[in-house]
Structure 1
Amino acid sequence: MSVLPRIDPMLATPGRLPPPASDDRYAYEVKQDGQRVIAYLPGDGTVLLRARSGADITPAYPELAALGQVLGGRPAVLDGEIVALDEAGRSDFERLQARMGLAGAPAKAARMARTVPAHLMLFDVMFLDGTGLTRAPYTERREALTALRLAGPAWSTPAAITGHGTQALDMSRKAGLEGLIAKRLTSPYAAGVRSRAWIKIRNVRTADVIVGGWVPARGHLTGLPGALLMGQRDPDGTLRYVGSVGTGWNDTERTTLAQLLTTAATDTCPFTDTPPVTGARWVQPRLVAEIRYTTRTRAGRLRHPSWHRLRPDLAPDDIT
């Protein structure tokens, strides 16, 4: 059995497609909508799955246990995304949420695996057969990953194409996918770094925000949130107010949010500047959400925001 190096995931920078003159210098992969994971295969038949935070989430996904046997005695460290697929074969984060957070409840995880199966989409290899590959270019790592032929009942290696970014993005949009990741062919694996060598291109503009407060709804929704007050971290660590969101959720989500907001209640406004909102109630800035929006104002506020989802897989310190 090999002692494997601990490797933090390389992160993509939000942006746009590379310019046409640089198009053939990038590979394009479908952006999966799931939980990022680093898979450690020491070569003894076992597998260890670590989330982006570094937490061991192996017990939450028992259907991935067999991955530890597919390479035999070859030790490896792989990068990928755990997803739950909808009826059309697209990753569906809402479905996956039923599987997340079950690392401490293996019996429940096993039951959920039968009704909401998870699938691991693999897209990089950083260590193989005793050799570190993080300094190797993307093309070399991708060739090594493809040669492993990792295709099984609960894992696969989706294709990547070189160039043709505009066409790939258009196809992803028509297929109802979230977008693309553009990866520079010559780029090494920058562990733990949000790198511009990987560009995250979304078909819908979204932003991860920290919930710092809320405004109660009126009428028959009294006691439930009518709007959430959103923030993002400035470089100095303070929380900057970026607007409020009050549309896009269903009754179940609104009720869940009410419970979480009550638990996180505080008397202190967490924002640098108190938002100009009447009747605001403050919460500890620990809930992370993803918001859809059109553009930003000059002050950095999100225009026409609508609720998308909670992000329990992200920590507030990750949001800028």
Structure 2
Amino acid sequence: MALIKPMEPLLSKTIKENPAFLHQIKWDGVRGITYIDHGTYKVFTKKGHERTGFYPELDAITTLFNGKSGVIDGELIVLDEGSKPSFNRILNRERVRTTHKIAYYSQKYPVKYIVFDIMFLDGQDLRPYPTEKRMDLLHQTLSKSSSITLTDSFDDGHQLYALMKDKNYEGIVSKKRNSPYIGGKKHNDWFKTKIFKKMLTVIGGIKYDGDRIKSLLLGIYDEDALIYIGNASIGLTEADMQLIKEYTHALKAEKCPFYPIMKDKDTLWVQPLLTCWVSFLEWTDGASLRHPKIIGFSSEKSMTATGKEYTYNG
């Protein structure tokens, strides 16, 4: 079977109030499409990269699945100490590329698989079926375990959004009850309503356009490694730029502080000592912040910038 292009929700600034929609939690993780075939399975990311064997927490899926073959869609997540999905932690798992590290990372960052759709069952293509019908079939076909579970659906989107905001989750997804499963974003059926977040970040570089500061290169710490998470310029004031220029000489670094080492022309690398708060909408597939905005500089120590997310009300 050819790989299925996953259906992606469209960004919406408002919550769908129409009763034709059901609402689900927007899980902060990595998309996982699982192909089950007569007691074996393979799992692929949204971009089609096979990750079978790198998530042994999914091994029980063949016994939980009540069918000979099928294709299911879900999100791979890792919870933090507060039982909240942490995108930074699932990225730590997704970055693992050698199998001899799997046992260590499975214990440190155990994965849960939250399943929310089924596209094939015993050779039958379910994609033309309405979302609500596919959800019913999914609940009839897949049992739950400690690491594999099914997402719930809710009728009141505003109530769910308020709950997700209170819990500091990513947001909600609203789906038309009668919508088919359409790969990609060429549809008008699934929508995501995001909750803005803020995060403490470390400044590791300054990108220039001539003599003018163009943007700041930001990172967060994963143990002792400073991981690059994107550039930000929106929110920088003239006073901020002047302050950065005053510190530049004292903080200048000989090499890139990020891991892995980056090469970027017109960039001045600095010692990772300055921290700043950044608001953002979500993470991109490339593990960088989407729509980052600098809120202000911080007196927090750089090693405290570990990727913890906070709700931001602006």
Q: 1:114-157: CA deviations, max 9, x gaps?
A: 22210100000000121101111111111111212431121100
RMSD: 3.2
Alignment of 1:134-283 (within 5 A): 134-162=127-155, 164-193=156-185, 195-204=187-196, 225-227=204-206, 244-245=215-216, 249=220, 255-257=226-228, 258=256, 260=258, 263-265=261-263, 267=265
Alignment of 1:124-143 (within 5 A): 124-143=117-136
User: Residue 169 of structure 1: SS of its match in structure 2?
Assistant: helix
State whether residues 64 and 142 of structure 2, in contact with CA within 8 Å, keep that contact through their aligned partners in structure 1. Answer: no
User: Residue 104 of structure 2: SS of its match in structure 1?
Assistant: helix
Give distance in 1, aligned partners of 2:218 and 2:89.
21
Q: CA deviation at 1:112?
A: 1.5
Counterpart code for 2:171? G
With over 3 angstroms needed to count, the CA separation of the structure-2 counterparts of 1:65 and 1:253, relative to structure 1, is same
Q: 1:266-320: CA deviations, max 9, x gaps?
A: 55x8xxxxxxxxx668xxxx96511464xxxxxxxx57499996xxxxxxxxxxx
Q: CA deviation at 1:28?
A: 0.7
State whether residues 66 and 142 of structure 2, in contact with CA within 8 Å, keep that contact through their aligned partners in structure 1. Answer: no
User: Residue 255 of structure 1: SS of its match in structure 2?
Assistant: strand
With over 3 angstroms needed to count, the CA separation of the structure-2 counterparts of 1:170 and 1:109, relative to structure 1, is same
State the partner residue of 1:78.
Answer: 72
State whether residues 127 and 182 of structure 2, in contact with CA within 8 Å, keep that contact through their aligned partners in structure 1. Answer: yes
In the alignment, structure 1 segments of 5+ residues that lack a partner are 207-216, 218-223, 230-242, 270-278, 294-301, 310-320
State whether residues 204 and 292 of structure 1, in contact with CA within 8 Å, keep that contact through their aligned partners in structure 2. Answer: no
Q: 1:181-209: CA deviations, max 9, x gaps?
A: 11111211111335431111111169xxx
User: Residue 44 of structure 2: SS of its match in structure 1?
Assistant: strand
State whether residues 45 and 69 of structure 1, in contact with CA within 8 Å, keep that contact through their aligned partners in structure 2. Answer: yes
With over 3 angstroms needed to count, the CA separation of the structure-2 counterparts of 1:172 and 1:101, relative to structure 1, is same
With over 3 angstroms needed to count, the CA separation of the structure-2 counterparts of 1:148 and 1:169, relative to structure 1, is same
With over 3 angstroms needed to count, the CA separation of the structure-2 counterparts of 1:118 and 1:255, relative to structure 1, is closer
Give distance in 2, aligned partners of 1:255 and 1:116.
19
Alignment of 1:35-54 (within 5 A): 35-42=30-37, 44-54=38-48
Q: CA deviation at 1:248?
A: 7.7
State whether residues 45 and 73 of structure 1, in contact with CA within 8 Å, keep that contact through their aligned partners in structure 2. Answer: no
1:32 paired with 2:40, answer no
Give distance in 2, aligned partners of 1:305 and 1:49.
41
Of 8, 11, 14 in structure 1, the residue corresponding to residue 11 of structure 2 is 14
Q: CA deviation at 1:67?
A: 0.8
Give distance in 1, aligned partners of 2:66 and 2:138.
15
State the partner residue of 2:244.
Answer: none
In the alignment, structure 2 segments of 5+ residues that lack a partner are 209-213, 229-255, 270-284, 298-304, 308-314
Counterpart code for 2:117? D
With over 3 angstroms needed to count, the CA separation of the structure-2 counterparts of 1:245 and 1:146, relative to structure 1, is farther
Give distance in 1, aligned partners of 2:35 and 2:207.
39
User: Residue 94 of structure 2: SS of its match in structure 1?
Assistant: coil
Q: CA deviation at 1:7?
A: 0.9
Give distance in 2, aligned partners of 1:54 and 1:16.
29
* Seq. identity, %: 23
Counterpart code for 1:187? S
